[in-house]
Amino acid sequence: MKKAIGALCLFLWGCATPPPEPPPEYGVSGKGLPQSSAVIHLAQRIAEDLERHHDLPDKTKLIAVTTPVWLDEIDSSGRLALQLGDGLVSALHQRGFNLIELNSSRQIRVSDRGNLILSRDYERLQGSLPVSQVLVATLSRDSHGVIINSRLVDIASNRVASTSQAFLPWQDSSGYLEQSNSVTEQGGLLYRQEEPGRTPVREVTP
């Protein structure tokens, strides 16, 4: 009798305990990104899209990942773009793509700041690289966040082999973005909005 009562209690306790919730799939469900490591999850989602939508998948082709740029300032980037570019290198490599490091110089520089090989000085970098495809991405701001459009392009033909579209809300950007102020500057003139957030978000500068 005692065994039966004990089994019944265990059964009722099991029914009362809700099953653990599975972790959210950010690339599929469309839910917001977590507050921490948002750019890492964003890069993984873009890499997943590029792999899924590649019309001629060939992971032996050598790919160069360029730094994303702002759509309205095609020659400039920022903290968010630089971090996203590095994140895309990691995310694509983890999916088996063949990547090349663009910022690797010809030799290691030994100094009191450390043993360094990465550089942004074009004179230190390697000349010609056997790259088949290049990943390019643009960032576009609206009042809620940033739209990221990415594409893999064949260098020989300029043919687009794969694309991805993603969105990063400013609230989920881990401090890279902030809501616009009620007073904004455009063309040297100041404009006052009724409330903050009526104009495109801003990138936070350190």
- Domain range for 57 is 32-175
In a domain? residue 206: no
DSSP string, 69-81: EETTBTT---HHH
Give the Å distances, CA to CA, from 4 to 7, 11, 15, 17, 157. 5, 10, 17, 20, 75
Query: How many Å apart are CA 131 and CA 148, to the nearest integer?
Result: 23
Are 148 and 84 contacting, i.e. CB atoms less than 8 angstroms apart? yes
Task: Tell whether 98 is covered by a domain.
Answer: yes
| Lowest mean pLDDT segment, chosen from 22-36, 51-65, 90-104, 123-137 | 22-36
Structural domain contains residue 18: no
Indicate the number of domains in the chain: 1
Of 46, 43, 45, nearest to 25 by C-alpha is 45
Q: What is the pLDDT of residues 74-109, one digit of tens each?
A: 777 788 998 999 899 999 999 999 988 776 555 555
Count of CA atoms in the C-beta half-sphere (13 A) of 82: 9
* 155 occurs within a structural domain: yes
Biggest distance spanned by C-alpha atoms of the chain? 86
Domain presence at residue 193: no
User: 27, exposed or middle or buried, with CB in 10 Å at 0-12, 13-18, 19+?
Assistant: middle
Any domain includes 22: no
Per the domain annotation, does 147 fall within a domain? yes
Query: What is the domain-level CATH number for residue 152?
Result: 3.40.50.10610
Let me know if residue 15 belongs to a domain: no
Confidence tier at 60 by pLDDT (50, 70, 90): confident
